[in-house]
C-alpha cells in the first residue's frame, strides 16, 4: 500500500474513534465542567506525548518556530473543542456530530481564502445544499428558535476547518512529532488558563468521568492528533476533511445502538442534505 493509502486509513480510524466517543463525552459532561474536562484531557495527552517525544529527542530537532507553528494549530484546535463541547451540552450527540461534518465543506473554502484561489461553483453549490440541510436539522420555526448548542457547534466547526488547513500547511515543513506535541500542549494551556475564568469548575470523580478523560486523553487526543499530523504529510487538507465526514455517521450509529437515539424524518432529511453538500464539494460534478 502507498503511504497515501495508509494515511487515509489512519484518518478513517480517527473518524471512527471520535465518532464513537460522542456519547461517552456527553455522559461525562453531566459530572464535570466543560473547560476543566478539556484541560484534563489535553493535559494528560501533553504529558504522555512529551514523555514519548523526550525518548525520541535524538531523532527530532526542536526549533522554536516549529513550536510557534504548532501553537497556532493548537489554538484553532482548542477553539473547535471548546465550542463543540459547550454545544454538546445543549444539543444531541448525533446532531452535534452532523453539524461538525460541515468541516468538510468549510476546508476547501477556507483554503481558497488562504491561498487566494477562487472557489469553484461546486464548492458554492455544496455550501448552499449543506446550509439548507443544517436549517432542516436545527430550525423548528423562526430563526430565533435555533438551538444555541447548534450555533456553538457551528463555531467549533469553523475552528476545526482552520485547524485542518493550518496543520496541512505546517506538516509539509516540520516534523510531525514536534507539531503534535506543540499543538496539543497549546490547546491544554488555553483550557488551563480559561477554565477558572469562564466557568465555575466542578467535577464528580465518577467512573464515566475517569474513563472519558483516560480514553479521550490517550486515544482521541494524544494518539489521534499525532496520527493526523503524520498523515497530512501524505494527503491533502480537503481529502482529510472528506474522510472525517465519516465521523458523524459513526456518532449516529453509536447514539442509536447505545442510547436508542434516532433522527426525526426532518432531521434525517437535513443530515442527508449536509452529506450531499459535502459530496458535491469533494466530487465537484459542476464545471
Q: Which three cell numbers stand for residue 216?
A: 479521550
> Is 131:186 a contact under the CB 8 Å cutoff?
no
**pTM reported for the whole predicted model:** 0.79
Residue 82 has a pLDDT of 86
Nearest C-alpha neighbor of 19 from the set 71, 97, 73, 88: 97
Helix axis angle, 121-138 relative to 103-115, nearest 10°?
140
Given this model, what pLDDT does residue 145 score?
57
Per-residue pLDDT of the chain (287 residues), as tens digits, is 788 889 988 998 998 888 888 778 888 888 998 889 989 999 999 999 888 877 766 565 667 788 888 899 999 999 998 898 888 778 776 677 778 777 877 888 888 777 776 767 777 787 788 778 877 776 665 555 567 888 898 999 999 999 999 988 888 888 888 888 899 999 999 989 988 887 888 899 999 899 999 999 999 999 999 999 999 888 888 778 878 877 777 777 777 777 676 667 777 787 788 778 777 876 777 66
Q: What's the number of domains the chain is made of?
A: 1
List beta partners, residue 203.
32
**Can you give the residue range of the structural domain that contains 121?**
3-283
Residue 119 has what pLDDT? 67
Q: What is the pLDDT of residue 57?
A: 61
CA dist 88 and 151 (Å) reads 11
Amino acid at each position: 500500500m502507498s503511504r497515501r493509502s495508509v494515511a487515509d486509513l489512519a484518518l478513517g480510524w480517527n473518524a471512527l474513534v471520535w465518532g464513537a466517543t460522542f456519547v461517552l463525552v456527553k455522559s461525562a459532561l453531566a459530572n464535570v465542567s466543560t473547560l476543566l474536562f478539556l484541560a484534563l484531557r489535553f493535559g494528560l495527552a501533553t504529558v504522555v506525548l512529551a514523555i514519548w517525544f523526550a525518548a525520541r529527542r535524538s531523532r527530532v530537532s526542536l526549533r522554536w518556530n516549529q513550536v510557534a507553528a504548532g501553537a497556532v494549530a493548537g489554538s484553532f484546535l482548542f477553539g473547535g473543542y471548546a465550542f463543540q463541547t459547550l454545544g454538546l451540552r445543549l444539543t444531541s450527540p448525533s446532531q452535534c456530530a452532523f453539524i461538525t461534518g460541515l468541516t468538510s465543506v468549510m476546508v476547501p473554502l477556507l483554503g481558497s481564502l488562504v491561498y487566494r484561489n477562487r472557489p469553484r461553483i461546486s464548492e458554492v453549490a455544496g455550501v448552499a445544499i449543506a446550509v439548507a440541510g443544517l436549517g432542516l436539522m436545527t430550525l423548528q420555526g423562526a430563526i430565533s428558535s435555533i438551538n444555541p448548542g447548534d450555533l456553538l457547534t457551528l463555531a467549533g466547526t469553523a475552528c476545526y476547518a482552520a485547524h485542518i488547513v493550518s496543520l496541512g500547511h505546517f506538516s509539509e515543513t516540520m516534523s510531525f512529532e514536534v507539531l503534535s506535541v506543540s499543538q496539543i500542549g497549546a490547546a491544554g494551556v488555553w483550557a488551563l488558563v480559561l477554565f477558572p475564568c469562564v466557568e465555575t469548575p466542578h467535577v464528580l470523580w465518577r467512573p464515566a468521568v475517569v474513563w472519558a478523560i483516560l480514553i479521550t486523553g490517550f486515544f482521541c487526543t494524544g494518539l489521534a492528533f499525532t496520527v493526523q499530523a503524520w498523515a497530512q504529510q501524505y494527503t491533502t487538507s480537503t481529502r482529510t476533511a472528506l474522510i472525517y465526514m465519516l465521523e458523524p455517521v459513526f456518532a449516529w450509529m453509536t447514539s442509536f445502538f447505545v442510547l436508542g437515539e434516532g433522527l426525526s424524518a426532518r432531521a434525517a432529511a437535513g443530515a442527508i442534505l449536509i452529506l450531499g453538500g459535502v459530496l458535491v464539494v469533494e466530487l465537484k460534478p459542476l464545471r
